[in-house]
Structure 1
């Protein structure tokens, strides 16, 4: 069965993934790209999971407090259902979505939409997080952003959890996480006697 693109003159859309550790500027970059699309008079919508209510219930907010209105959804199928004729679709905190997100964004790209996704590529254990690895595999464009390790000044690639909680999903900011380079992340786990 052939699916007709929604937008004339465009055969297919594409998928962009922005990933990295906490405090690396993922949401900031997502907001920047969406604002540029809005400036070009493209129809834009951004979705975020209900799980993420740290800064705002109904806006996507970066750590430096840039914000953009968003639609809060329960699951990835809601994104497909609510997208309609949206030309540019933003998805923040993608690691919190279910595995159907990969299928959803591919369907949207086939319909002709540009999808821009931001999310953590690794959890606090240093393991691939949620649907992000599969999204990286199907994306046309991947941008890995980095924070700076506060201990040594190198590029930070890991999200180091400062609290003792063991659950994979623990919402928090600088009170619970800090970005660390590979070495400082490993040293912290050894010094804190963290065993996963």
Structure 2
């Protein structure tokens, strides 16, 4: 298990760390924390995010708590390889929105001795594994699953429940579009909820 207090972990070259979970679980916050510590250690860091994620900023990775760090938006995972030369640590946010080639990109970077830290949703609103995240979890040296708090009962939440109409897998949103729910409350919502409001 990843332990930042172990210098063999934080200083070891060539590794893939995946931070996954539902919406509002602190994935981006944990990504930013690790990247900031790498910067404090005077390591050269580059952060990437998909161009479609413009909820808070076009050029920054921003957590729900409004913490941010400057990033490079890219259209395709292959762009990361071109832009990550002479870098010691690569951060990737919202990995679920990338093409599936991201898995090979991360593997190549790690094989070159780069520490790769990836954050993303592991499941979509239907609880289906999302984009390249399952493959990234499979090849990772370490996987950290973080949890939100269920807005219905206060238990640990692992599902992103969509509360507006729409069947598209990719729909950017916040608390007005999604709620974190535990398994029990998610299943109850599927059984007893009225159709969601069609916001679009």
Place the TM-score, normalised by the shorter chain, in its bin: over 0.9
Instruction: Determine the structure 2 residue equivalent to 1:157.
Output: 158
Shift of 1:11: 8.7
Correspondences of 1:114-193 after superposition (within 5 Å) = 114-192=115-193
**Pairwise CA RMSD of aligned residues?**
1.2
Number of positions where the alignment pairs a residue of Structure 1 with one of Structure 2: 185
Cα deviation, 1:120-142, whole Å, max 9, x if unaligned, reads 00000001000000000000010
Change (3 A) 1:34 1:144: same
Shift of 1:96: 0.2
Runs of 4+ in 1 over 2 A off after TM superposition: none
Structure 1 unpaired stretches of 5+: 1-9
CA distance in 1, matches of 2:98, 2:167: 20
Instruction: Determine the structure 2 residue equivalent to 1:6.
Output: none
Structure 2 unpaired stretches of 5+: 1-10, 196-200
CA distance in 2, matches of 1:12, 1:30: 18
Cα deviation, 1:46-80, whole Å, max 9, x if unaligned, reads 00000110000000000000000000000100001
Instruction: Determine the structure 2 residue equivalent to 1:21.
Output: 22
CA distance in 2, matches of 1:58, 1:170: 19
> Which TM-score applies when normalising by structure 2?
0.90
Cα deviation, 1:162-190, whole Å, max 9, x if unaligned, reads 00111000011001001000111111111
Correspondences of 1:2-21 after superposition (within 5 Å) = 13-21=14-22
Cα deviation, 1:81-122, whole Å, max 9, x if unaligned, reads 110011000000000000100000000001000000000000
Correspondences of 1:44-59 after superposition (within 5 Å) = 44-59=45-60
> Which TM-score applies when normalising by structure 1?
0.92
Cα deviation, 1:16-42, whole Å, max 9, x if unaligned, reads 000000000000000000000000000
Correspondences of 1:57-76 after superposition (within 5 Å) = 57-76=58-77
Secondary structure of the residue aligned to 1:57 is coil
Shift of 1:192: 2.4
